[in-house]
Amino acid sequence: MTPSVEREHGAPVAALAAALLFNLGQGVLRPSMPLYLQRAFAANYRMVTLIPVVFGAGKWVANMPTGYLLNRFGCRLMIAGLALIAVIDVLSIVTSRFGVFLGLRALGGVGWAMFATVATTATVGLPTSRRRGRAVSLLLMCETSGLLFGSAVGGWLNQGVGIGSPFVFEAACMVVAAIAVARWASLPSDATPPRQRTPDRGVLGRVLRTPGVMLMGVTNALLTAIQTGTLVFLFPLYLLARRGFGPEAVGAVVSLGVLGRLVALWLGGTVSDRWGRMHVVIPGLVSYAVSLTATSRLSQPFLLALCSFAIGATAGFVAPVPAAVTGDQVEHPQQGVAIGWLRTMSDSGQIIGPLVMGALADAIDLSAPFLFGAVLLVATAWSCRYRANAIAAAAGGRDA
């Protein structure tokens, strides 16, 4: 596929390959991080939980600046983000001070934001909306597959090679990804996103006034908050404490959710391209709410396994839509800022979600986060239905 055809009909292959490698490295590191902290710093639980907090804060801070700088520096920001993470991984295994290690992980979040914001913007930056949903689906599938495979081998690397080996492996993945992106960026100008200078003043305000952009940011934040606050942290505990599942059964049920997400990601993006974004997001959000409600009420292992698959599938079905709608609505020179804001909202959900859902579980019951998330999903689906005509009209005007 030639570069010009690639840009017209699908996501940049280099961005997809880099996303796979990027998340492969992240997946290898995730299960190994607590073990490394315990051995290297004799870390307690509070020290362990500080790592995702500072990492998320680094992403949150860097998303918007990356969006503003994208039109000026282009794919060099993505390469710089990958190189930054590689350097941080090497420095992380040579420092003996936890405070320095914590600061390095925060900088890793900055590198993540630099990569992910540019990669997502390159993916949605297609001339028309007819393949944008599919392109976003491919990017998310690469991310999910990388995390899945990386998590499977991370523990083996830690035990079989050494506690620092996951950091070295992630650094190697970042270097290879940076080389792939650099080669893509060196192609003729029609192969890479054009770098246009856009006045910074007022860009974010114009983006947020575009029909659907604010709503899609809220939707993205909600999806992330439910994923991190309910499914990642509380769902395994719910299965263990309330339903009597053993660790192996918990792992099997949770993995079905990941499988469901992978299956539905491609379907959601493709259907949204053919039938319209709102025809995907509205029933998808409602189905997601139904799956969460059912999970909080069922006790049979088989039915809970089906619900876990359904939760992953409905979440994956909806996941490509916010970025695709943002790409539909926003003019190309403003897409970097729009995607930066969308990812900032997503990272806000990642920070706030566990705090809110954990407080609900402590104050009321372990099932409360599931029901609360379902209510929010239905309310968001109603808002999408209310704004559907305005969003479709704006997107139609752009494609015309």
pLDDT of the residue at 189: 44
pLDDT of the residue at 3: 43
Q: Copy the structure tokens of residue 282.
A: 């509205």
Residue with tokens 């706030």, as numbered in its chain: 352
Per the CB < 8 A criterion, the answer to whether 391 and 324 are in contact is no
Picking from 219, 218, 251, 216, the residue whose alpha carbon sits closest to that of residue 235 is: 251
Residues in the chain: 400
pLDDT band at residue 144 under the 50/70/90 scheme = confident
The domain made up of 204-399 is a member of CATH 1.10.3720.10: no
pLDDT band at residue 105 under the 50/70/90 scheme = very high
- In this predicted model, what pLDDT tens digit does every residue of 269-280 receive, in sequence order? 889 888 888 889
Ranges of CATH 1.20.1250.20 domains, the chain: 3-197, 204-399
- In this predicted model, what pLDDT tens digit does every residue of 297-344 receive, in sequence order? 888 888 989 999 999 999 999 999 999 999 888 888 888 899 999 999
Per the CB < 8 A criterion, the answer to whether 342 and 216 are in contact is yes
pTM of the model: 0.82
Q: Copy the structure tokens of residue 292.
A: 């969460």
Residues 6+ apart with CB under 8 A from 212: 325, 326, 328, 329, 387, 390, 391, 394
Burial class, 232, CB count within 10 angstroms (exposed 0-12 / middle 13-18 / buried 19+): middle
Residues 6+ apart with CB under 8 A from 120: 136, 139, 323, 339, 342, 343
User: In whole angstroms, what is the distance from residue 130 CA to residue 257 CA?
Assistant: 29
What is the rounded average pLDDT of the residues 255-262?
Answer: 87
Count the alpha carbons within 13 Å of 186 in the hemisphere toward its beta carbon: 7
Third-level CATH fold of 3-197 = Growth Hormone; Chain: A; (1.20.1250)
pLDDT band at residue 235 under the 50/70/90 scheme = confident
